Amino acid sequence: MNIAALQRFLSDSCIELCGELRVELISGGRSNLTYRAWDDRSSWVVRRPPTSGLTPSAHDMAREYTVTSALQGTAVPVARTVAFDADGSALGAPMTVVEFVEGTVVRDQADLAGLSDDQVAASAGTLVRVLADLHAVDYRAVGLGDFGRPDGFVARQVKLWAGQWDRVKTRELPDVAVLHAALTEAMPATSAASIVHGDFRIDNTILDPRDPGRVRAVVDWEMSTLGDPLTDVALMCVYRDPVFDLVLGSQAAWTSDRLPSASALAQSYAVASGRDLGDWNFYLALANFKLGVIGEGITHRALQGSDSGAGAVRAAEATPEFIAAGLRALKGVTL
């Protein structure tokens, strides 16, 4: 981080600093780089794309800033937006600045161990309600009418992840083509439209440290768009599969058996949102298809020499498991 350049940008954005500006890296790796910046009075979060391995669609800073700005004042908790460098003139890459939200991030099962069973249950219930609240936002009313193309969203998702498989596969897996064909055949005739987060689970939220049943902010919006809300719900549920640990390279909090089952989460969402979970098996199959391709892609990049973090070479071991789960889901069999 070029602290002097960041300081000039904050000053040019009419942010008056009090004392020395300090910066520390909070997280990096496969996602956007996230820094905490603070002076003697205030604290902010600065986000920018990775320095290498950039995938514009997955590291779209304008997308993050646009959706979080639009959600200010809604029922969805997000950090207050402060400033945006769209053309990267300050740091050489686009950058967002939002308020620093004090709270707890539960990333792995060691973090989850610090919560009681009642707190875990309360957190899960709140997460489902927050997702339902997001999908209930009138996206046109908050200025997001042009944020995506909800019509045909599901069909484009099936095509997108099939194409991505062709680009990243490290071996032949015939069941991938079988699942792709089955998804194409089982496509829902109609689907709803809402803002979708695209990566919703407990570690992409900040919890209140005194009350983990309260979400203080939802973060990591770089995959957000307008689309079918049930794709968000199904992905949240499929993330519960323990094989997802191979993709992340750690024992994720969200795969812990202390949390509600995938079916319980789906039912809770149906109650909270009032939505019918029609064609649910299709959405589960699509989520499994997506995660199978993502796992393969992580290993593909690792084999190409890209630094993808711990366990990246093993991430593709999850792919056959997710593809098989997708085929089972389309047959109405879930484990």
* pLDDT tens for each residue of 9-34: 999 999 999 999 999 998 755 567 89
Bridge partners (DSSP) of residue 85 are 95
Which SS3 state, helix, strand or coil, does residue 286 take? helix
How is residue 27 annotated by DSSP? Answer: E
From 33, 55, 128, 46, select the one nearest 79 (Cα to Cα).
46
3-state secondary structure of 226: strand
Cβ atoms 97, 45 nearer than 8 A: yes
Per-position DSSP letters for 181-211, written without gaps between them:
HHHHHT--S----EEE-SS-SGGGEEE-SS-
pLDDT of 172 > 90? The answer is yes
What is the rounded average pLDDT of the residues 168-196? Answer: 96
2 φ, ψ (degrees, to nearest 5):
-85, 95
**Could you tell me the strand order of the sheet in which 81-85 lies?**
22-27, 33-38, 43-48, 95-99, 81-85
pLDDT digits over 118-150, tens only?
Answer: 999 999 999 999 999 999 999 999 999 999 999
Q: Positive or negative CA dihedral for 132, 133, 138, 144? A: negative
Of 12, 59, 6, 14, residue with least CA distance to 36: 6
* % of the chain with per-residue pLDDT over 70: 94
User: Per mean pLDDT, which range of 43-52, 83-92, 122-131, 198-207 is the poorest?
Assistant: 43-52
Q: List 206's β-bridge partners, or say none.
A: 217
Rounded CA separation 237/268 (Å): 11
Measuring CA to CA, which residue among 216, 212, 228, 241 is closest to residue 125? 212
